[in-house]
Chain A
């Protein structure tokens, strides 16, 4: 430890700490503008300059590492003068439109101006006046307000690794922009917005909707995917105005993705239902929740226990899922289903991915499916001595950081992955060098898609060959892991389809799941209509809700408390921020339980007590961030599964990455839907040329057992001879119900 004096106060800090770190330790605040502790030292703004006793030169607190016995002064006449000058200089060109600025009230420059006491600018003002750029669907860009701190460029480079923006020009002409000033085109993660200290990069979803001082905030966990990001829900009067990062907090270190940052608006959607509905004989009637529950309970009473199935969505909380399992117990049925199974459970944590020196990403477009896990992979992969091998049918955004990107049509890729797996086991082939790197690495990590059995088998074999490999099965939804822990992964989802189709299941209690857009279940529409009872809870009138005879609108994750278990197996607390006047699933389940004669608690803490008692994995769990200790990743030995594409045709068809969405839920977000609203068929440019079809054209796709028409999106990254479609649209779920990899013909 090093001894440092800050303004006379002695502190001890670890070697490598900066003066700023030491000051923090001493409780001394130093103004900063371009600094962000997650980014490399930059030292551009010069407002954090401090004096070292005995040294003539000022030094930047944010970039200068402390040395032992250093004595630092953070306040002096000289320092006040240079800080003030720096801010005054910024204010020459910076438009003083604070009253109408997006950032007013939470602006770094505004705060600094106040802090250093600039009351009059000695220089002639010459405010910039460039038109505001609206070419990006989510990010408004007002370069006039830019202070060139470079945080956006640096985070896009150092963290996101997309380099969608750069510093351009030099001197006074320096600006942030893109190649030949093209529109911004990126993953829309909005990390740049989150670090912009001024109103230069603005969230268009929040823009002009409210002022920050009106907003209250609630710290919670994002409920859109399995990453488990700590976020802040900023609201006023039960309306959510933004979902914001909490700088440096959570497993996500304060990073977010497009879904979370721009997709939250579905919570405020006018399309949300407020009243329950009972449908008898094709006629829908509004009802109270109590009436709906009563109606359902009555129907249930007339059925045998095993004729009832309980289906839960991986969106609901652990507490709700546990209650649902208690409900099933009350009813006496073992027919509990979800799209998840308990075959594969989490192992690796983000910290292990970030620290890995050799990663294999098996056939998953992780930066889109699990963006924050994607960031962790990038953090590790960009390290000089780390290796990252990416297997995927098309090129992915990891291309920039990947040591090797292995692509090919699904059949070729399957062969390559098998070879890699064999090489890990000692076979001598094209992948031996890669395998050697993995085997010799200190902290090898394999990220894979647990929903793909063929890949899961390979992951298992790799783990067998090299025990130190840490597996990261990237589950998809916010509580995919938790509902399994609560008992909803025991049964095979296919049995649900069989039961419904075969008539052995006569009533379905569905909490939050949109059955009809899930591959494997999407063709149940007719069978569901024949049920005695289909009770569905959902914030929206989903496809499945429309088919229900009892529908109850329920809360989104911002409107309830509980917990989610993320892809690491980490349990994290969800806190209620707003009330939209609808029940939570927990309330509906408890009410139904009560109607059937069981007393189920709805209080979160009471439910947790029960969970701790009854769910072995959760006994003694820390609800605010404890990691569940799973005995193993694979419940039983995985069997080798075929990955060969089914059917015949010239093209390979496979499921596309999620393209800004997380299942069907986020499609209710007006802003995400604007950018990606209908499924598109992604096609390589060479194939498109051969077919003489252009972006936006409609083409026909036909394979064994399916046909459809889709709009073409040309994507250079797609391997020639392959096409892809998103998986969970009603029109595409049917197709992928036939298999993950299909062959197809495409024609104009």
Chain B
């Protein structure tokens, strides 16, 4: 991996989705304006020649807009929470006067976020301009495919096998082995390679960040896979909710085509590879291989029975290989650094790094890349910075709606494919949602099931009706109608749905319910038998009265109440008017002392 260096001053502005949302575009404009004002644009002196550059995600989205100032031979300085208004000061003091604006510069707590990370796949993310092929090439881009085509396809597959790379989309199937199936599958004309960029898990945005931050890495990965398997046509199936990613992929494909990296005779070899982008249209289930294929074919994204597997009969009944964005992005690394190097990272059965999207009740929400085998504790407390507001860590949901919840007892569990499955969760695509004591686990299970139920394609009975039925039971539990036997019923139906559903969506949909029952059964019981929500998140089960023993008479609840249902005078306990209260929970959320029940 080439370290990033510049021969002039570059100011990298995060222009990922979160960067743009927080005003990255305005910061860019302000920078250019200020550069012009100070005569820094195209200045002759290296030290004075300034360029504002858009880059992808650096990870710590919570602190966007992030900017990095790179000066030749000086490394970089990072500013966080930058707004357009701050730009004139930064330009004046840092770039003109040469003094770092300490009050805005990132401090230790920012760099702590990176301490335990190993940013290999994301190495160039946040450094290269995702819309510039030259930038990617300058950092060694497309060297891996150049190397690959000097090898025999079988040798490339062997290299990937030796690296131990497993599919990053969820299941963790060994990538090299998957390729072998498709490579050995006979065809009379085409074989297709599909990049699954239909990342739909709520709380996961790894793939989006990779594509937005470094689209050429994905294209290069696809070229390597295409060459190894013998595919001549590829598709990137990207979620339509990611307009920026789509825009960047389209540009990247075009640039690569223009440069002759895609198309006929890739890098002078006899390997031809055509690449197309297909936009999704809003269906989570299309992340499932066979549904994705149906969707590319222009049909309803309903999963198809397997076998035949896509490797035998996939897109348009031809052998096809589907891998996820992150898997492809790992490939250039493996080819360039070698399988041995790669296999040196991680655990015995899970090699390399994994990218996670950490969100929920942690201080540093964002995108992280950590070596396989890191513990849950390290991920949440060291990388994520722990739980805000001095609250207690309660659970972490791994693997999104297909995954499961882990508890404080699992903090030492190493994060790798097999340990997570043993603990009842799964790697999934990499969503990590952290929950504190104010989160009700029944509610969390209900949330995930609402999602999967809504996204069920409706084809098979267990998933279509089963998830809805489980949701109905959860609904009655969270609204005070829980019955004796509901827990056992949820478990039995959940198991049956898992064993009998057609595709991965149904086969994993009950997981959040089953794991929360396993680890937080007492919460379910409190809802059913005591008609109480211990975390006071299920509004129907909260009485909305102030507990005088805990109330510190601060009056924050009164301020928070949108309907003026709380009476409070200085030095008095607050009182909630039950007639006016609309059970919006604002008081509970804002009470620092957990004094409302």
Residues of A within 8 A of B (CB): 41-47, 49, 57-58, 60, 63-65, 78, 81-82, 85-86, 89-90, 92-93, 122-124, 147-148, 150, 167, 169-174, 384
Q: Which residue on B lies nearest to A41, using beta carbons?
A: B305
Segment of B153-161, B453-461, B545-553 in the binding face:
B453-461
- Is B63 in the interface zone, CB < 8 Å from A? no
Judge if B163 is at the interface, Cβ distance under 8 Å: no
> Contact flags (1/0) for B369-402 with A, using CB distance below 8 Å?
0000000000000000000000000000000000
Judge whether B500 and A82 touch: CB under 8 Å: yes
Are the CB atoms of B460 and A171 closer together than 8 Å?
Answer: no
Q: A171-B457, A172-B464 are in contact. Are A86 and B500 (CB under 8 A)?
A: yes
**CB neighbours of A85 from chain B (8 A):** 462, 466, 492-493, 496-497, 500
Q: How far is the CB of A546 from chain B (nearest CB, A)?
A: 56
User: Does B283 reach chain A (CB closer than 8 Å)?
Assistant: yes
> From DSSP, what is the main secondary structure of chain A's interface residues?
loop
- Residue with the highest number of chain A CB atoms closer than 10 Å, among B300, B472, B489, B496: B496
Q: Are A172 and B501 neighbours in the complex by a CB distance under 8 Å? A: no
Establish whether residues B307 and A173, one from each chain, have CB atoms under 8 Å apart when the complex forms. Answer: no
Which of B453, B466, B469 has most chain A Cβ within 10 Å? B469
For A87, the closest partner residue in chain B by CB is B461
CA A107 to CA B300, docked complex, whole Å: 29
Instruction: Determine if A43 and B461 form an interchain contact, defined as CB atoms under 8 angstroms apart.
Output: no
CA distance A169 to B461 in the complex (A): 15
Contact partners of B305 in chain A: CB under 8 A: 41-43, 60, 63-64
Most chain A beta-carbon contacts within 10 A, residue among B300, B305, B457, B500:
B500
Q: 27 A–B contact pairs at CB < 8 A? A: A44-B461, A45-B461, A46-B460, A46-B461, A46-B462, A47-B461, A49-B500, A57-B499, A60-B502, A65-B307, A65-B308, A85-B496, A85-B500, A86-B462, A89-B465, A90-B461, A92-B465, A123-B469, A123-B472, A147-B461, A150-B459, A170-B458, A171-B454, A171-B456, A172-B456, A172-B458, A174-B458
**Least distance between A94 CB and chain B CB atoms (Å):** 10
Shortest CB-to-CB span from B400 to chain A, Å, is 18
B468 within 8 Å of A (CB atoms) = yes
Taken residue by residue from 478 to 510, chain B's Cβ proximity to chain A (1 for < 8 Å, 0 otherwise) reads as 000000000001001100110111100000000
* Given A46-B500, A63-B305, A172-B468, 14 new contacts (CB under 8 A): A44-B502, A46-B461, A46-B501, A58-B499, A58-B500, A60-B502, A85-B466, A85-B497, A86-B500, A89-B462, A93-B465, A148-B458, A150-B459, A172-B465
Contacts of B499 in A (CB 8 A): 57-58, 78, 82
Which residues of the partner chain A approach B465 to less than 8 Å between Cβ atoms? 89-90, 92-93, 172
The residues of A that contact B468 with a CB separation of less than 8 Å are 171-172
- Given that A42-B305, A64-B307, A124-B472 are known contacts, is A86 also in contact with B461, CB under 8 Å in the complex? yes
Say how far A33's CB is from chain B's closest CB, in angstroms.
8
Chain A residues whose C-beta falls within 8 Å of the C-beta of B66 in the assembled complex: none
Smallest distance from the beta carbon of A678 to chain B beta carbons, Å? 41
Task: Decide yes or no whether B557 CB sits under 8 A from chain A.
Answer: no
**Max chain B CB contacts within 10 Å: which of A81, A86, A92, A124?**
A86
Q: A41-B305, A46-B502, A85-B496 are in contact. Are A173 and B458 (CB under 8 A)?
A: yes
Q: How far is the CB of B475 from chain A (nearest CB, A)?
A: 11
Contact of B18 with A by CB under 8 A: no
**Residue of B at shortest CB range from A45?**
B461
User: Closest approach, in angstroms, between the C-beta of A616 and any C-beta of chain B?
Assistant: 48
Chain B residue contacts of A42, Cβ below 8 A: 305
Bound-state CA distance A89–B496 (Å) is 11
Residues of chain A within 8 A (CB-CB) of B95 are: none
A56: nearest chain-B partner, CB-CB: B499
Checking A93, A148, A169, A171 against B455 with a beta-carbon cut-off of 8 angstroms, the contacting residue is: A171
Instruction: Give the residue name and chain of the B residue nearest to A171 (CB).
Output: B456
A66 to chain B, nearest CB (A): 11
Q: Which residues of A contact B489 (CB under 8 A)?
A: 122
Do residues A172 and B496 form an inter-chain contact, with CB atoms below 8 A? no
- Is B329 in the interface zone, CB < 8 Å from A? no
Q: Is B87 an interface residue (CB 8 A)?
A: no
Q: Give the shortest distance, in Å, between A741 (CB) and chain B (any CB).
A: 40
Q: CB of B302 within 8 A of chain A?
A: yes
Chain B interfacial positions (CB closer than 8 Å to A): 283, 285, 300, 302, 304-305, 307-308, 317, 453-462, 464-466, 468-469, 472, 489, 492-493, 496-497, 499-502
User: Which residue of chain B lies nearest to A65 when distances are taken between CB atoms in the complex?
Assistant: B307
Which chain A residue lies CB-closest to B500? A82
Q: How far is the CA of A82 from the CA of B461 in the complex (A)?
A: 11
Which of these, A45, A81, A93, A124, contacts B460 with CB under 8 Å? Answer: A45
Would you call B496 and A148 a contact (CB within 8 A)? Answer: no
Q: How far is the CB of A67 from chain B (nearest CB, A)?
A: 9
Task: Give the A-B pair count, Cβ closer than 8 A.
Answer: 99
- Nearest CB in chain B: distance from A723 CB, A: 37
> Which residue of chain A is the closest to B468 with respect to CB atoms?
A172
Q: Are A169 and B472 in contact (CB under 8 A)?
A: no
Kindly list chain A residues whose C-beta atoms are within 8 Å of the C-beta of B501: 46
Complex CA distance for A47 and B283, rounded to whole angstroms: 26
CB atoms of A171 and B500 under 8 A apart: no
Task: Give the docked Cα–Cα distance between A43 and B460 (Å).
Answer: 8
Neighbouring B residues of A41 by C-beta, 8 Å: 305
Q: Given the complex of chains A and B, what is the CA–CA distance between A123 and B486 in angstroms?
A: 10
Kindly report which residue of chain B lies nearest to residue A174, judged by CB atoms.
B458
- The CA of A78 and the CA of B495, in the complex, are separated in Å by 10
B460: chain A residues at CB < 8 Å are 43-46
Of A46, A82, A123, A174, which is in contact with the most chain B CB atoms at under 10 Å from its CB? A46
For B459, the chain A residues whose CB sits under 8 A away are 44, 148, 150, 174
CA distance A167 to B460 in the complex (A): 13
Decide if A82 touches B457 in the complex (CB within 8 Å): no
Within the assembled complex, what's the spacing in Å between the Cα atoms of A150 and B493?
A: 24
Residues of chain B with a CB closer than 8 A to A60's CB:
305, 502
The 5 closest A-B pairs by CB, nearest first: A174-B458, A43-B305, A63-B305, A89-B465, A85-B496
Highest count of chain B CB atoms <10 Å: which of A123, A147, A171, A174: A171
CB distance from B181 to the nearest CB of A (A): 15
A167 to B302, CA, bound (A): 10
Q: Are the CB atoms of A172 and B453 closer together than 8 Å?
A: yes
In the bound complex, residues from chain A placing their C-beta under 8 Å from that of B492 are 85
The CA of A43 and the CA of B465, in the complex, are separated in Å by 16
Partner of B458, one of A43, A93, A122, A171: A171
- Would A89 and B502 be within 8 Å (CB), given that A45-B460, A172-B453 are in contact? no
Q: From residue A149, how far is it (CB to closest CB) to chain B in Å? A: 9
Instruction: Return chain A residues, CB-CB under 8 Å to B496.
Output: 81-82, 85-86
Which of A42, A65, A78, A89: most chain B CB closer than 10 A? Answer: A89
Contacts of B455 in A (CB 8 A): 170-171
By beta carbon, the residue of chain A nearest B452 is A171
Could you say which of A49, A122, A124, A170 contacts B456, with CB atoms under 8 Å apart? A170
Q: Which residues of A contact B502 (CB under 8 A)?
A: 43-44, 46, 60
A47, A78, A172, A174 — which one has the most chain B CB atoms within 10 A of its CB?
A172
A475 to B499, CA, bound (A): 54
> Which chain A residues border B285 with CB–CB below 8 Å?
170
Taking a contact as CB atoms under 8 Å apart, the answer to whether A170 and B462 are in contact is no
Query: Which has the most chain A C-beta neighbours within 10 Å: B308, B455, B465, B497?
Result: B465
Shortest Cβ gap from A571 to chain B (Å): 39
Q: Quote the shortest CB–CB distance from B189 to chain A (angstroms).
A: 11
For residue B488, give the distance in angstroms from its CB to the closest CB of chain A: 10
Shortest beta-carbon distance from A526 to chain B in Å: 62
Minimum CB–CB distance from A92 to chain B (whole Å) comes to 6
Interfacial chain A residues near B308, Cβ < 8 Å: 65
Closest to B497 in A: A85
Q: CB within 8 A of B457: which of A57, A123, A147, A170?
A: A170
Chain A residues within 8 Å of B454, by CB: 171
Q: Would you give the shortest CB distance from A743 to chain B, in whole angstroms?
A: 44
The residue in chain A whose Cβ has the minimal distance to the Cβ of B470 is: A123
When C-beta atoms are compared, the residue in chain B nearest to A169 turns out to be B458
State A93–B464 Cα separation when bound (angstroms). 12
Bound Cα distance from A81 to B462, whole angstroms: 12
Min C-beta distance of B197 to chain A, whole Å: 21
